[in-house]
Amino acid sequence: MELSGIILSIEQSGDRFLNAKIFSQTNGLCTVLFRTTGKKAGNLTPPDLFDEVECRITPGRSNSQALFVSDYQRISTFRELAIKPAYFLAASELSRFFLMNGSHLLEPHSHFSLLQKALASFLRARDPQVVLLKLFYCFARDEGLPVRESWLAGLTKQKFDAVSEILSKPVEQVRSEPLELCDLLGSIKSWMNTETELIVG
């Protein structure tokens, strides 16, 4: 059995395992276990946060729901985010968003694509808040929520124009002020928390 996806969280689970949450383009949010000790662990080095991986999975015993990683290949990595605190924090917020909302998505493939693009965009953006704003807007849109008709249309003209410009440009070309971005980001997060079933931390 094989599973591919992006590592959203990874933490110690007991003495011999690491518990990893992976967002998969086919299965959505999944939990797998990486062995850290013992013969079956071999020379397997656990992946890093935000790595995109292809895993070979071995199911646990018949009475267990556990999925064990017997081998994996790293497809891409975003280690560069670790040396940019603001970008790493934004990527961590993105990860929490998918952890809180990724279990019951009907079409994980399109959301996986959004996640991939967002992580790659952090490396090009002048401000990581731009990536989060675009991601939240596109996620809500792809879920069929009235983000344009309700949230965007309810903004003042100045804010409407600012968001429209941000959405229409590649992240590296956005020159919005940090305070303006913070205000717009707070606004869409508030709308999502109060007007939808999505949870934004």
DSSP string spanning 37-69?
SSGGGTTPPPPPTT-EEEEEEEE--TT---EEE
Indicate the domain borders of the chain: 2-76, 80-195
Distance CA 103, CA 182 (A): 28
Distance CA 125, CA 171 (A): 5
At 36 the pLDDT is: 84
Number of helices followed by number of strands (H, E) in the chain: 5, 5
pLDDT at position 60 over 80: no
CATH annotation of 2-76: 2.40.50.140
Residue range 88-132, pLDDT digits in tens = 999 999 999 999 999 888 889 999 999 999 999 999 999 999 999
pLDDT at position 182 over 60: yes
**Non-local CB neighbours of 118 within 8 Å, separated by 6+ positions:** 94, 131, 132, 134, 135
At 28 the pLDDT is: 93
Average confidence (pLDDT) over 154-175:
97
At 38 the pLDDT is: 59
Q: Considering the chain, what percentage of its residues have pLDDT values greater than 70?
A: 95
Average pLDDT taken over every residue of the chain = 92
Q: What is the pTM of this model?
A: 0.91
Alpha helices in 50-156 (DSSP H): 85-101, 108-122, 128-142
For residue 49, how many C-alpha atoms fall within 13 Å in the half-sphere facing its CB? 15
At 44 the pLDDT is: 74
At 46 the pLDDT is: 86
Average confidence (pLDDT) over 155-184:
97
